[in-house]
Structure 1
């Protein structure tokens, strides 16, 4: 579960405070590369295809300035979460038509259905709180982002 192993699931290497590309597809690839560059993706193209397929089913722009692209794929062997923040905001086709500033990516192994839902729901619940979103928007280092998520999901 998310609370139990935030360091494994969401290591600081998966956190970027650099402005991601302004276009949704490029931002998704930017997040994917945070996980891939940490050796967690066995097939980047397969992972990207899984993310694209999921995006076709329904938007991952959840509103309140949040985008959570996610997928189950055999291209990852362990659940992983990545984070990036966009000052400019990225159009994630959110239901409230607001751009996404906080971007989280969740990738779980193809057989990790239950874990995928647990991670997604814990993160979504945490991000409902304005103070959590504000702290993430203001965070000056990956440690602050990681600790904020750790506290918020507990």
Structure 2
């Protein structure tokens, strides 16, 4: 069974995200998706993520944001992860800044079940403070992938 880690390459992980706002963060996350090799069209992906944000924030609270885009800007499901020590204002209901940001990108054709399964798996794990703390303490992309390897995709 595939895991969340299988959707990430080491190049699609940024442990020192610096972004002035969520638009900057989304741009950086698109670059991380590009590093995974799944990106076909960066602008299409960014537009899809912004359209989803316009429908309602993907800032979940507790320092978490899971922006996502369903579009033909990627050729397969892909995931990017960024950690920001300063945090990014993602408009979370609790007012917290996002320190842990996961971008989910899925092709339009695979958007239904695949997209929701990845989102649900991540959200179930991220509600646990010890899991979030492990991601905050990770020092290498390899360590992040090991932490995420325990989550089914």
- TM-score under structure 2 normalisation? 0.93
Per-residue deviation, residues 108-147 of structure 1 (Å, max 9, x unmatched): 0101111000000000001011111000001000011111
Number of aligned residue pairs: give it: 152
**Counterpart position of 2:105:** 107
Q: Once the two structures are superposed, what CA deviation does each residue of 1:20-78 show, in whole Å capped at 9, x if it has no partner?
A: 31311000110110111333111111111001101011100011100111011011110
Cα deviation 1:62-95 (Å, max 9, x = unaligned)? 1110011101101111000100101001100001
Find 2:28's aligned residue among 16, 27, 30: 30
Aligned partner of 1:16 in structure 2 is 14
The list of structure 1 runs, each at least 4 consecutive aligned residues, that deviate by more than 6 angstroms after superposition, is: none
Q: CA RMSD in A?
A: 1.5
Point out where structure 1 has 5 or more consecutive residues left out of the alignment. Answer: none
Is the Cα–Cα contact under 8 Å of residues 20 and 84 in structure 1 kept in the other structure? no
- 1:96 equivalent among 91, 94, 116: 94
Normalization by structure 1: what TM-score?
0.93
* 8 Å CA contact retained: 1:85, 1:103: yes
- Uncovered stretches (5+) of structure 2, i.e. residues with no partner: none
1:77 aligns with 2:75: yes
Residue number among 58, 61, 84 corresponding to 1:60 in the alignment: 58
Q: Is the 8 A contact 2:65 2:101 kept in 1?
A: yes
